[in-house]
Amino acid sequence: MVTELDDRLRTILRDDDFAMMGWEDPVGRVTVGIRRRRRNRTLAVACAVLALAVGVPAAVLWPSASRPAPNRPIPYWDSEIVAAPALARREPRPDATPCQAAHLGNHWVQGQTLYVANLGDKRCTLSAPATLDNGVVAGGRFPGDEKQYPATIDPGEPARMDLVFTECDRETSVVVLGVSLSLGNRCVTAASAWYVEPPLLNAPLTVSMEAPATVQRGQHFDYVVTVLNAMPYTFGLDVCPTYLQQLGEDAKWRRLNCAGLTEIPAHTSVKFAMRAYVPDSQPIGAKLRLHWMAVMSDGTVAIAQPATAGVTVEVV
């Protein structure tokens, strides 16, 4: 079975559908792009020099409340907050054409939620009623402010349905658009309408972490978070951001120590010293994921190392 899937993947990925026409003048095209980058960089340098020539005397004469970004990490302070901040998410989408039965191939249950992916090649809205084995019709809204109804989903994106169930010794299913979706050994007594959980909106910042590879249980460990403003404009910090630190299952919200910083200048990074605690109960050898996410005053987020959703530390 594995061999068959391996072969099919190799065949699909080498299919002519992925062939692309070569560029007519590839060297010319790339050269134009490089010249544009160098010009922009030269302009940025020129502006920086000009700003320095004008700005330094001005700063001396008119000192502002905004301190320059420090080079060393801003020290950690333990400022735990109780209430999680509101997170900005994608706005509700207008309804699209209804999803068809042929779009509902791939589904799975995780926790208390049924997921059904859109296998079509266009956005569609899934709002068709779903019926459980016991005749109950799924509908209504379970708690959760971030949920958006109905489920308007892009290709590959899943629609969700919350379930209330108990484990039982027979296999059950839910039927939608004439398609029977297996729920395994779950006897469902109630189910919500289809919804999406829209993604968070990102602030234009890039965050990376440097953490030790190994940590000791029952002890704190220090790590550094670097927040980079790679944009050609200043990023304002009207309110010092809060952040979520999660090590394994243990998550806490805190306020950052901005140390008087009110903005991050263009093309500048700021380092923050962080500290986390490894509970005594963690077994030796456990590999824990360390997540870190800052939340700005407008609810946009900056997530550390989003490609890997954080870094892994090993308990030794």
Partner 1 sequence: MQPFAGLLCLMVMTRWAAPEGFAEFVRGRHSDLLRFAHVLCGDRYLAEDLVQDALERAGMAWRRIERQDNPEGYVRKTITNRYLNQIRVMKRERLMDSPPETGTPQMEMPDENLRRLLAGLPRQQRAVIVLRYYLDYSEAQIAETLGCSTGTVKSNASRAMAKLREALIAVKEGAW
Write out the binding residues for partner 1, residues 92-111 only, by CB under 8 A: 102, 105-110
Distance CA 304, CA 290 (A): 9
Q: Which of 45, 54, 84, 239 is the binder for partner 1 (CB under 8 A)? A: 45
* Complex with partner 1: residue 37 or 72, whichever CB lies closer: 37
24 binds partner 1 (CB under 8 A): no
Instruction: Choose one: 8-16, 62-70, 161-169, 269-277; the region binding partner 1 (CB under 8 A).
Output: 8-16
Contact 259, 237 (CB under 8 A): no
Q: What burial letters (b/e) apply to 212-231, b meaning 16+ CB within 10 Å?
A: eeebeeeeebebbbebbbee
Runs of H (alpha helix) within 14-125? 26-61
Question: How many C-beta atoms surround the C-beta of residue 135 within 10 A?
Answer: 6
Angle, vertex CA 39, rays to CA 35 and CA 44, nearest 5: 150
23 binds partner 1 (CB under 8 A): yes
* Complex with partner 1: residue 227 or 240, whichever CB lies closer: 227
Q: Which of 3, 22, 63, 170 is the binder for partner 1 (CB under 8 A)? A: 22
From residue 210, give the alpha-carbon distance in Å to each of 46, 62, 128, 274, 292: 33, 37, 47, 10, 11
Distance CA 48, CA 178 (A): 64
155 binds partner 1 (CB under 8 A): yes
Minimum CB–partner distance for residue 99 and partner 1 (Å): 14
Write out the binding residues for partner 1, residues 191-210 only, by CB under 8 A: 197, 199-202, 204
Minimum CB–partner distance for residue 229 and partner 1 (Å): 13
Residue 97 identity (one-letter amino acid):
T
Binding stretches for partner 1 (CB under 8 A) = 1-2, 4-6, 8-15, 18-20, 22-23, 26-27, 29-31, 33-35, 37-39, 42, 45-46, 49, 53, 90, 102, 105-110, 115, 117, 119, 121, 154-156, 171, 173, 179-182, 184, 197, 199-202, 204, 291, 303, 306-309, 312
